[in-house]
């Protein structure tokens, strides 16, 4: 069992990476070399980030991922256990190294990321079959797109078969089959990902609403489009609802979307209604952008309370 002694309500299937981060004044253009500042090495990967974010919100979480048989993998496993995450179905690949992400962060907190997936590429449907006892006892399945698409699609099939609420964060942006979208209870793209999936150029709230409705038309029950400092836009049963985010000074947006998605899943798993779960996620993401790093930026639940006073009145 996980060290919290609970059966996970949320199972995250996804990637685990180590982030190698360089701070710099501006992100270099193609062919350009810039002199950077500080260097940091942080645990990351979208799956792992979302699992940690959900666990820090108080959720009971299990993680299915694949690590290399190396220092990075052993360190990641140690950290997951420290967070109280159920690690029984984390696998080790003896042939491939653990995933690595090279991240450049500029002075405005914007980032540019290149990922070498390593062992993440070998997380296969057969690995999920071994974890079916874990999935059968869960209520929510959280997916991203840093693992093979055949595994993502098989996970979607399992979610449908087992009656799980499937939350899909379509990052990095990739083509998605309508069959997967129809099995998805909630899809959580950012503006870039929504543009990729719909072809709509998102420049304002109106165009964001158009993109969200187009995604819903492909069969997704609920679309939650994240808008950075502007919060999030919910599209459910054709109705659009904007949820504002607390205003903060960003220093690093790395993993803000992962913190949002993991916190959203945590809120839903404890029975919050959709809008309140989105508000919870906006608070958590707002705190994360004020900190550097990926998993290290995810706040604990107790840290969110002061932000309630900063939210616009409904």
Convert the pLDDT of each residue in 177-209 to its tens digit. Answer: 999 999 999 999 999 999 999 999 999 999 999
- At residue 105, the pLDDT reads 85
Region 160-184 average pLDDT: 96
Map tokens 């899909």 to a residue.
168
Region 53-81 average pLDDT: 96
Report the C-alpha gap between 271 and 9 in whole angstroms.
11
Could you tell me if residue 90 is left (phi over 0), alpha (psi between -120 and 50 degrees) or otherwise beta?
beta
Query: What Rg do the C-alpha atoms of the chain give, in angstroms?
Result: 18
Task: Please report which residue ranges of the chain form alpha helices under DSSP H.
Answer: 46-56, 71-82, 125-129, 132-136, 149-162, 178-183, 191-198, 205-217, 256-269, 274-288
pTM across the whole model: 0.90
258 is catalytic: yes
Report the C-alpha gap between 86 and 92 in whole angstroms.
15
pLDDT in tens, 138-151: 999 999 999 999 99
- At residue 299, the pLDDT reads 92
Torsion of CA 155, 66, 146, 143, to 10 degrees: 30
By the 8 A CB rule, do 129 and 89 touch?
no
Parse the chain into domains and list their residue ranges.
Answer: 10-310
By the 8 A CB rule, do 43 and 51 touch?
no
Quick one: what percent of the chain has pLDDT higher than 70?
Answer: 95
Q: pLDDT band at 309, cuts 50/70/90? A: low
pLDDT in tens, 82-114: 999 999 999 999 999 999 989 898 888 788 888
Q: pLDDT band at 310, cuts 50/70/90? A: low
- Closest by CA to 91, choosing from 114, 116, 113, 118, is 118
Q: Which of 129, 258, 273, 309 is catalytic?
A: 258
Q: Which fold has domain 10-310?
A: 3.40.1190
């Amino acid at each position: 069992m996980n060290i919290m002694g609970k059966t996970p309500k949320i199972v995250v299937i996804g990637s685990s990476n180590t982030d190698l981060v360089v701070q710099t004044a501006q992100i270099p253009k193609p062919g350009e070399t810039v002199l950077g500042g500080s260097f940091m090495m942080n645990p990351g990967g979208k799956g792992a980030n979302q699992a940690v974010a959900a666990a820090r919100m108080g959720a009971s979480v299990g993680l299915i991922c694949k690590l290399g048989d190396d220092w990075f993998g052993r360190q990641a496993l140690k950290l997951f256990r420290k967070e109280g995450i159920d690690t029984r179905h984390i696998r080790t690949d003896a042939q491939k190294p653990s995933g690595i992400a090279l991240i450049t962060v500029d002075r405005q907190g914007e980032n540019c990321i290149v990922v070498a997936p390593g062992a993440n590429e070998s997380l296969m449907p057969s690995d999920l079959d071994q974890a079916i006892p874990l999935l059968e006892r869960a209520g929510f399945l959280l997916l991203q797109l840093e693992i093979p698409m055949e595994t993502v699609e098989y996970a979607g099939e399992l979610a449908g078969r087992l009656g799980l609420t499937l939350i899909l964060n379509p990052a990095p942006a990739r083509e998605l089959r309508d069959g997967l979208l129809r099995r998805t209870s909630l899809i959580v793209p950012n503006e870039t990902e929504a543009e990729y999936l719909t072809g709509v150029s998102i420049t304002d709230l109106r165009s964001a609403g158009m993109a969200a409705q187009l995604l819903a038309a492909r069969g997704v029950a609920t679309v939650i489009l994240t808008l950075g400092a502007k919060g999030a836009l919910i599209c459910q049963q054709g109705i659009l609802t904007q949820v504002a985010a607390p205003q903060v000074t960003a220093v690093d947006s790395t993993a803000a979307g992962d913190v949002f998605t993991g916190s959203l899943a945590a809120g839903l798993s404890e029975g919050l209604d959709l809008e309140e779960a989105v508000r919870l996620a906006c608070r958590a993401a707002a705190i994360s952008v004020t900190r550097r790093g990926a998993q290290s930026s995810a706040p604990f639940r107790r840290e969110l309370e002061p932000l309630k006073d900063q939210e616009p009145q409904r």
